[in-house]
Each structure stands twice: as C-alpha cells, then as structure tokens.
Amino acid sequence: MPDRLPLKTELDSGVRVLSEFIPEVRSVSLGIWIDTGSRDEDDREVGLTHLLEHLLFKGTPRMNAKEIAEAFDHMGADLNAATGKEHTSVYSRVLEEYLARAVEIIFDMVLDPLLDPKDIDSERQVVLEEIAMHLDSPDELVHDYLAMLMWGEHPAGHMVLGDTNVIRAAERDSLAKFYKDRYVASRILVAAAGAVEHDRLCEMIRARTGSITTGAPAVRDDSLEKPLSRSMVFYKDTEQANICVGSKGLRRGHPDRFAFAVLDNILGGSMSSRLFQKIREEQGLAYSIYSYTGMMLGMGMVGIFCGTHPSQAQKVIELTEEVLLGIKEDGLKPDEVERAKNHIKGSLLISMEDSGNRMSRMAKTELAESDHLTVDEIVERVESVDSGDIDRVFEETWGGSGASLAVIGPIEEGSVGLSGRM
C-alpha cells in the first residue's frame, strides 16, 4: 500500500473533501460525515440525531426508500450509516465506475430527505425496537450506564440510540429544525479512499452542494476536566454479571495518544495483556475481558469490561484493581512495552489494507482537528514511546482521577464495589 497524506480541498460552500488514491484497488470507500452527534443534544433531543440518521434512508423527492436500496444493489455496492457521540456518517463501498452515481444518491439523501410524517412514524417504531434490543443486551448496555455515571448531566452521558420518551414524542417540525441546524456545509466532510481521483471527486461534490447553507460549525466548549467517580449496580436476572470500570482518559488529538494506545494494549488490549492473562488465563473467571478508550473533543475516558458469573463479580473487581495497582506501583516491563508496540503497528498496517479503514481514519482525524500523519509517521510515533511516557499517561488517567463502576446482573446493591485503593 502507498504511504501518503490525503489530499484536501475546502470548497467554496465550506464542504471539506479528503481523498486518498490507492492504485491497487478498483473500488472506492466513500463517506459523508456530518459533525454532529449525541453529545450535541440537549435533554429534549436525546436520540434525534440517531432517528434522523435512520430517516435519511426513507427517501427524497426523487427516490423512495426501495429505489435507493435497489440502486445500490444494482451497483453491487453497500450502503450504511452510523451515529456516534460527535459525528454521523453515511458510507458506501462502490466500484469506481459507479462512484458518480453513488455520490449523487447519497448527497440527495443527506441534503434533501423527505422527512415525511408517515416515514417518521414507521421509523420511530424501528428505533424503539433497536433500543429495546439494546436494553436486552447487558454486555452492551453496561457501557452506556458507565457513561451516564461518569458524565452525569453532561450530554456525553447520553445514550446514542436515544431516550424512548423523546423518540415517541418526535414530530416532523422539530425534526426538520433539528436537521436544518446541523446538516450544513460547515459541518459536512467527504472522505474517499481507493480508485478515486481527487479533482474529479471535488467536481462531483461541488455540483451537489452549490446551494447548501453554510451554517454554523459545531461548538463543544463544555468539556469536563474529569469525569465523576460513582458506582451503581443495576439488578437484572441474567446469567452473567456485566462489569464496567471507568476513569479519566485523554482528549482526541492529545499528543500522548500514542503512549495512551500502548498503555491500553498492555492493560487489556490483547491476549497477552495483564487483564486477559490474570482474569481469564490464570483464574478462568471470564470469557470476555478487555480495556478500551473513548476519546472526545476536549475530554475522554478509559474503560474495562468483564463478563463473569455473579458469584465471582467482586473477585473480578478486586483483581482488576490489583492489576491497575501493579502498574501504578511497579511500572511496566520492557518486553511488555515492546510487544505492545509491535501489536499496535501490526494491527495498524493490516487495517490500512482496507480502503474503508483508510477513509474512516482520515475523516476522524480531520474531525478531531488533528494533523494528518502517514502510516510511517504513526509507526514512528509509536516506536518513540518510552516507559516515562506511559507512566505519565497512567498517572493522568487510571492513576490520578478515581474510578466509576457500573454492574448489570443478578446482584444486590452494596454487595460489590471498588475498594478506592486507586
């Protein structure tokens, strides 16, 4: 794979276009990214971003939902969308010969959705079923509960799928205003990777966005310096106890993000990680145990998840604290650091063989207001991480901010908890 920076153009409309040409492929991974997510909702809007994402697929004045689906099937292409805490994306992978047609349809969906009241009513039910399915999945739901505990009243704690009361009450006029305020040129980014020629792509986008409203960019100046430290047990009659522990993380684009990645890999990001080896391999207490990071603009979090038998929940929590204390008190071994670096580099290089990953990476980098780096530059940054960098990051995250605990399972309140030793 070639190693180059993406080409970038800001059109007169304010829409940004990024692309990376990959000569070895015949397809294009195309994404339309809108800089709006659940973090940008107030309490009366929780879930409208996600509902609106669904409604983009319900038709435009020129094509109904079935015709959109048939068009992408005819092109042999896929079409999907996603809503996150800080952005919404509509994306496709399409053969080079059909790129212009894909751009035409997707921009029609994004810039001119019907938002028909009948479609809103039917899709409202779809979203409510999606939320119900999520509520029946404690291994997923526990992450939302942890976010609610950590961020409190801040919108970063909102469940991306939405609040059922808000979804049930949503009407056409409020959704149309919500859409008009957010789907504007200053918040739209187009990213494409694969068999794509940049200037031609820009012309395609320019032809579709000439009359789009510039609008106001997203403003996120409400970042919290650190999350709250709280614990809660949510009783549910399940076979397992689903456990999440969280603490302060780093913001998106933080200069220590490469050391952050190495620390996370050593803690619980691989089969040789400390958590995996201690809790699964040595103790046999879990099938799934891992750590993860959540980086947002101006703020972030770290988390650990484990699913275990309810009778072993407290032991897993204690062992998790033991692993974290071991890192805090004794540091890391040189072979752990080297192994984590190699794992990160290998995963990165393998992921970059997929044009969809390359497209997503450049879009997220741009939305994070970070510098675009080549793969070689990222590898160099990872290789330059030393133990001092990791110690500093640990103290800024797990080691210095307290922790929150969320548990879902057949467990009574007060029967499990953190010791506070961190």
Out of 41, 45, 53, 123, pick the active-site residue: 53
Q: How far is CA 141 from CA 6, 63, 75, 361, in A?
A: 36, 36, 36, 26
Both structure tokens of 120: 């809103």
The answer to whether 31 and 365 are in contact (CB under 8 A) is: no
Mutual angle of helices 48-55 and 117-135, in 10-degree steps: 120
Both structure tokens of 396: 């800024």
Q: How far is CA 398 from CA 151, 295, 300, 321, 349, in A?
A: 16, 14, 12, 10, 28
Closest CA to 312 of 266, 264, 267, 280: 280
- Residue holding tokens 């694969």? 194
Instruction: Write the DSSP symbol of residue 187.
Output: G
**129 an active-site residue?**
no
The answer to whether 286 and 307 are in contact (CB under 8 A) is: yes
Instruction: Write the DSSP symbol of residue 98.
Output: G
Q: How far is CA 100 from CA 14, 60, 65, 72, 178, in A?
A: 20, 18, 19, 12, 29
In sequence order, the 6+-apart residues with CB closer than 8 A to the CB of 404 are: 146, 149, 150, 227, 228, 229, 230, 231, 245, 246, 247
> Could you list the active site residues?
53
